[in-house]
Structure 1
């Protein structure tokens, strides 16, 4: 899809838009940002965003962060996240995206795994002191030299970035040479073989964004509402990268308030909604989306791709839906719904974007592996990150390593359609919304709580799984898990079932 020697970086894509339309709206905060972070919502043009990005990039450079070093970012879906990511790219840094629900245990592992030199956090998000979490995690990561934050009442030792980002007199900053083939981001994967840090280049990210952008038929200059926190490969590609490819406006929604979401769509006249597919289907079935006069496209992300084939029909309301199949951090592909609203079949072999144009670029290839699982290859797929390192030393088995990633999802050929039917998720890995856990980890944490503790994952139609736990004292179990630095999904598994919610 992309030729490396002519591909721009994501910051260069931003620069091209800036040159064409400096005064057009670029980034719009969630209207409820004051409730979420304590900071007022902001609206930035491309020129305003560029000044903030240059100021932040200059700060990172002057702080002594060398090019190609890792900067970890844990921020909500607000303009600060987009500005920080662009600033890191402009300063030649690699962004490690940290999910918002991660607490000290996961943060510490990620920081040590990547050798991050800096971390950027928000002071508070939904009442949780993320600045304190970042400080504590940084104290356990010997590589961290800089702890930075947005928001008020930051702890001592955390460098405030709000003043930096608001410095309208900051000098323009841009590296003399940018290379789209070098790593841009690192995301994290819970796979059957353990906890993986998965690096991707600018080329990989742009290829993924193009695959969704062209398949869904988004117009240039679109106003996009993203209800996804871009803390994963798919979240970044489907929101941040699609925004840069369209050259339009990115409106951000802090997940999930359906009433607020509809107000944003109507107020900003959004043509495109990017959201979890089960949520979009539920809103469509309730006839909520049809009231949005400007909405023409819905891009629905499936973190449980085995459920797409059995999903409800998309209503015929003048809005087109594109299903985006996600396979952890390995890769993705998008397929527009058929005219009758049903999910289109997944055909093996190369897939093109857009599919109706015979000469269009190959976005990737869908493979049925000899093990009866679904494999992916193409310009977005980081094969090296998933390479098996303990291959047997056997002359008869000394074949070239596969040039694809085995997603672990069980699949078979449907004789009626010739398409690939995805039947089950990888064994040993549990998906809870946008978060994936190793099943063994759940049992390990349960054992730490005592002999009568139980922690399990129950099937859930919307999120894949939901966690449920039981001990002799649920309140004490919640306190213990919180003290261990585990995320709220595990902690709240032990909530009192007699209390609604």
Structure 2
């Protein structure tokens, strides 16, 4: 029978933090492998890939936490982090939490426009990044964004050739035994801030340790992962779902976490085939593709559990049946930054039916641990409530609305939904009106029109249906090359910029 790896509280009644979960594993197995870099890390960041034991990771976390404290960042202040899916990302976030800071997760594709909005919205005191990701100079990007955020006092970075004004960070694996944070951790205080786009606009979504652990448990228990699981994740932990499904699941399992910098399919196949990971965490459509290609069925592959994250939850039931009988697939339904729930595929490979009411993990088990509740609202939309759902962050205050909104204990996801009268199952039929989701990023439809108007007359930027991503962006202008340059100069997300790439007649 699958049981929770750790309760949410110590024997004294004090709620556990993420650092508490990590320290427990350090004490139990200090020499076990904890973190593994992507094999192509040197191409991505210019630094050689490495792997760390739990003892080495503990030293690295304390080293960077001490650096933050020495820099004068007070407990409770916010540090923003924008990094690729490498060891540095995980260590930096854990170090900030150990130092008593709050981490604002910045998606990798965000550029100056979005970074500036986010940094100013949360009043970040510092930002940590890397010198480069692929061909993009992220060191200069961080400095330029910091210059437009008056609250920023420190800019930290990993890598070679850091620009002037960026304080270097490095992974050290010794010399930090016994380092103690000057502040006592509190699991009920904010730990992570992610960002969401709702019909009401851009929102910062804080979560405490308990809410993050609840999200991780929803994934860990529904997937039936073993203690000491060897995880391979291609999901960047720059969102609630990404962080909960990879970092928190790793902390709950006490196993190893190997990272894949998305999205190099050939490298991912190499990691699946050559390394002995037992659990794979990837986008849902990619999980289906890997099974249908036969990659997971190769004799040398050790994968037994696949966790597929669906940022387009309305497409799960219409996806192909799971083909690989040697592994299990757990669909994780994602609703922006609001929350998630999981459902393991049925024996015939079809998606499990979702019903209203309390959901637990493992779903349907007699001893299932209740984690949240699914509601279909009178407006025929799906809503969530439970320990992981940050209700206050989505509540519309009187400042946002002409009328006071009553306090509710659930958040409406905006996804159109109905309950089948025969089966009792919920059908999720459409994404929120006015919001476009592209590759894990959400945009307001009206914002796309606004950006297009800043180009030449007659320019158009729109969202088109896409089988894998839900939507893809497409643009049209009199001079597409000039449109790309103009959007880049405005500091916009590459998804918008590349919407105006030239297409041959054969593509």
Bin of the TM-score, shorter chain as denominator length: over 0.9
- Of residues 366, 369, 372, the one that matches 2:377 is 369
Structure 2: how far apart are the matches of 1:271 and 1:361?
Answer: 24
TM-score (norm. length: structure 1)? 0.96
Matches within 5 A, 1:204-353: 204-291=211-298, 292-353=300-361
Tell me if structure 2 keeps the 8 A contact 1:316–1:340: no
Question: What CA deviation, in whole Å up to 9, does each residue of 1:361-407 have, x standing for no partner?
Answer: 2110000011110000000000000001138888xxx8852110000
- Counting only pairs closer than 5 Å after superposition, residues 2-401 of structure 1 correspond to structure 2 as 5-162=13-170, 165-166=171-172, 168-175=174-181, 177-291=184-298, 292-390=300-398, 400-401=406-407
Give the structure 1 partner of residue 438 of structure 2: 432
Distance, in Å, in 1 between the alignment partners of 2:351 and 2:232 is: 23
State the distance in 1 between where 2:26 and 2:66 align.
19
Question: Structure 1 stretch 258-267 or stretch 321-330: which is displaced more?
Answer: 258-267
Q: What is the match of residue 474 of structure 2?
A: 468
| Alignment match, 1:408 | 414
Residue 459 (structure 1) aligns with: 465
- Decide whether the 8 Å contact of 1:57 with 1:173 is kept in 2: no
Between Structure 1 and Structure 2, how many residues are aligned? 496
Find runs of 4+ consecutive structure 1 residues off by over 6 angstroms.
Answer: 391-394
Give distance in 2, aligned partners of 1:31 and 1:83.
18
Question: For the Cα contact (< 8 Å) 2:143–2:155, is it kept in 1?
Answer: yes
1:500 CA drift (Å)? 7.8
Q: Is the CA contact 2:374–2:384 (under 8 Å) kept in the aligned structure 1?
A: yes
Question: What SS does structure 1 have at the residue aligned with 2:451?
Answer: helix
**152-161 vs 382-391, which moves further:** 382-391
Structure 2 CA distance for aligned equivalents of residues 34 and 282 of structure 1: 27
Alpha-carbon deviation of 1:260?
A: 1.4
Cα RMSD (Å): 1.6
TM superposition shift of 1:358: 2.3
Provide the secondary structure at the position in 2 that maps to 1:214.
helix
Distance in 2, Cα, partners of 1:277 & 1:209: 17
Asked if the contact 2:314/2:428 (under 8 Å) is kept, the reply is yes
CA distance, structure 2, for counterparts of residue 399 and residue 63 of structure 1:
42
- What is the DSSP-based 3-state SS (H/G/I as helix, E as strand, rest coil) of the residue aligned with 1:480? helix
